[in-house]
Amino acid sequence: MTLLPQTRAIVTGAARKDGIGWAVAHLFILNGAQVVLIDLDQEMVQSAATELGAAGAIACDVSDQGAVRTAVAQAVAPLGGLDCVVNSAGIVNANRLSDITDADWHRMIDVNLGGTFNLLQSTIPALTEGKNASFVAISSMAGMRGGGLLGSSHYAASKAGILGLVKGAARELGPAKIRVNALAPGIVDTSMTRGKFGPDWEKMLLDQIPLGRFASPDDIAKACLFLASDLSCYMTGVTLDVNGGYFLH
């Protein structure tokens, strides 16, 4: 049984083979979805689409509202509509509060929170016409615990902002039959984290995770599949923790 039959989807941040967006696109395609990929680099996103058998590839900076509008129109045309969006594009930075420059602050908020807003606002018209319409925003455990690992306070603020945006959007878009949910991963083994902790810190972190390992991108993709599919048809405005029990609250 496939969980996303006849589902037309956009997945952002999908160009890196070891990343969450790639794993989401891969699992969605295996489950019958047609997927258009969005990421920063044209060559990388095109090659990802070719390897994954995606329906399209678009280079776009999600922090640029005009570019996102154009990209969404370019994606929806060949798909013939839109049922699902997963916004996984994001950046991280570990600067201490006193070292965060104005430019760092604005880039973090513009990409992580602004990017989510841009995708959400631009896809509402198409999702309103979609079936079992679902928007999944990738937040982070950092948004709830205040960063403290590889992401510092501006990262935490951008990811916490996503949680508020998702709740407001869920409230507003429920009557249009669009579900809006957030997924909050713990530590995921991607290029964002790999080799960044050092052996001692990594051991200490693993000791604190009840399931005893970092997440794989596939672990996150499976939770995304749940939020995108009919399995979660009565869920909107939730934050789904996928952290191996590391952050229990």
Q: Which positions touch ligand NAP (CB under 6 A)? A: 12-13, 15-16, 19-21, 39-41, 61-63, 88-92, 111, 115, 138, 140, 185, 187-188, 190-193
6 to 2, 146, 158, 174, 227: CA distances (angstroms): 10, 39, 33, 22, 16
Cβ of residue 187: shortest distance to ligand NAP, in angstroms?
5
Distance CA 40, CA 89 (A): 9
Cβ of residue 173: shortest distance to ligand NAP, in angstroms?
21
Cβ of residue 58: shortest distance to ligand NAP, in angstroms?
10
Instruction: Give the nearer residue to ligand NAP in terms of CB position, either 230 or 238.
Output: 238
Active-site pick, 22, 135, 155, 246: 155
Instruction: Give the nearer residue to ligand NAP in terms of CB position, either 109 or 235.
Output: 109
Distance CA 172, CA 176 (A): 8
Instruction: Give the nearer residue to ligand NAP in terms of CB position, either 48 or 133.
Output: 48
The residue type at 37:
L
Residue bearing tokens 């604005």: 106
Distance CA 193, CA 185 (A): 12
Cβ of residue 18: shortest distance to ligand NAP, in angstroms?
6
Instruction: Give the nearer residue to ligand NAP in terms of CB position, either 79 or 223.
Output: 223
Active site residue 246: no
Distance CA 139, CA 248 (A): 16
Q: Are 61 and 110 in contact (CB under 8 A)?
A: no
Which residues are part of the catalytic machinery? 155
